[in-house]
């Protein structure tokens, strides 16, 4: 095996328990995008065993996969566009988000064997999904034949706890609740908080929080909220790869496509058997791997199937040896946060982009 992503399900469970205790309310474990790259069914099962009350996915296909694998828990899919197979979703007890009158009409018209369970999404200031102008046009007639079980929105800046927009969105959400109550609909599950709000904005917890990135042990924002460790979270994924080749090269050797970097000394280079087809960002410049107790930085451009690291002239690394691409940082290895910064991105992108050519191994981290 040339590369693998080791996923510690005990870390997932510990994070779910911490987040649920912090929220003091129900918790929806967000497992969209193959559980942020960690494995859809495996993570969903672990989260439920740790006390998660709901599962949340973006796509109908993700929800149907969970049902096909025997997952019976309450499940909401929130990016099911008009024209989708609503009847199949309803028949499989998949709760649906509706963000427009058109979506409501199609759900009402679905020829399903049972009543649809719907969460209404309102736009409180992110200008992405959710009812906006149409919210005032909503009438009881639009809700006939369906069960409205939830009302939700999404924070745009919860990872910046002091931003006024958070307060504005909370007030708009409360106004949306009042409007729904005026239509004779009450007792629904109100959910607004994402991971950052769960950790730092208790007033927004309502009846359920939706935790994504924090459930995987990663901070929503290392600059504004602190590290995973400072938040009490346990990163669940370690990615490691084999050194395809180790070789001595002289000073002045150009490395990689475009010869964007040249060795500044006689050194040893390691060719790591992972590239951008596996999720290593091509743009990354200041990250690397952990090998023999030290960091070895990337040198040159990342290729499709491999990348090159500068091991240093004194390295004793050998071809075939395993290196850690990222882990929890406890031994000095690079983290998903480091790779995000090196790629002008965020840790979310780093873990979700690890490709299908990298098998997921469900075991404790190996250091």
Catalytically annotated residues: 32, 257
Q: Do the Cβ atoms of 80 and 89 come closer than 8 Å?
A: yes
Q: Phi/psi of residue 194, each to 5°?
A: -95, -165
Task: Give CA–CA dist 155/72, Å, rounded.
Answer: 28
Number of C-beta neighbours around residue 107 at 10 A: 24
Question: Any idea what DSSP says for residue 133?
Answer: G
Of 250, 238, 299, which Cα lies nearest the Cα of 272? Answer: 299
Please say whether the beta carbons of 262 and 297 come within 8 A.
no
For the four alpha carbons of 180, 182, 185 and 191, in that order, the dihedral sign comes to positive
Rounded (to 5) percent helix, strand, coil in the chain: 30, 25, 45
**Which tokens sit at 121?**
């999404």
Comparing CA positions, the residue from 256, 245, 236 lying closest to residue 354 is 236
């Amino acid at each position: 095996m040339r590369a693998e992503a080791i996923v510690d399900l005990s870390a997932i469970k510990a994070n779910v328990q911490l987040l649920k205790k912090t929220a003091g309310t129900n918790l929806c474990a967000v497992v969209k995008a193959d559980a942020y790259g960690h494995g859809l069914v495996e993570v969903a099962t672990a989260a439920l065993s740790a006390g998660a009350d709901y599962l949340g996915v973006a796509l109908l296909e993700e929800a149907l996969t969970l049902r096909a694998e025997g997952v019976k828990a309450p499940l909401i899919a929130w990016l099911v566009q008009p024209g989708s197979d609503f009847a199949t979703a309803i028949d499989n007890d998949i709760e649906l988000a509706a963000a427009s009158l058109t979506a409501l009409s199609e759900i009402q018209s679905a020829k399903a064997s049972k009543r649809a369970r719907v969460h209404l999404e309102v736009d409180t200031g992110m200008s992405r999904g959710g009812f906006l102008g149409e919210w005032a046009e909503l009438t009881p007639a639009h809700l006939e034949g369906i069960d409205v079980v939830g009302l939700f929105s999404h924070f745009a800046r919860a990872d910046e706890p002091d931003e006024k927009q958070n307060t504005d969105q909370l007030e708009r959400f409360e106004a949306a609740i009042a409007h729904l109550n005026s239509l004779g609909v009450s007792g629904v599950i109100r959910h607004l908080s994402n991971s950052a709000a769960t950790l730092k904005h208790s007033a927004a917890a309502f009846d359920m929080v939706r935790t994504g990135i924090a459930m995987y042990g990663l901070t929503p924002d290392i600059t504004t909220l602190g590290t995973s460790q400072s938040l009490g979270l346990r990163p669940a994924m370690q990615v490691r790869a084999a050194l395809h080749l180790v070789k001595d090269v002289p000073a002045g050797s150009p490395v990689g496509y475009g010869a964007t970097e040249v060795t500044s000394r006689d050194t040893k280079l390691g060719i790591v058997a992972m590239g951008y087809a596996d999720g290593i960002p091509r743009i990354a410049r200041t990250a690397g791997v952990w090998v023999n107790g030290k960091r070895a930085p990337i040198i040159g451009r990342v290729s499709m199937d491999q990348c090159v690291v500068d091991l240093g002239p004194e390295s004793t690394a050998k071809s075939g040896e395993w290196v850690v691409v990222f882990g929890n940082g406890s031994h000095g290895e690079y983290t998903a946060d480091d790779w995000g910064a090196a790629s002008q991105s965020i840790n979310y992108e780093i873990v979700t982009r690890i490709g299908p050519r990298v098998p997921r191994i469900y075991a404790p981290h190996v250091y």
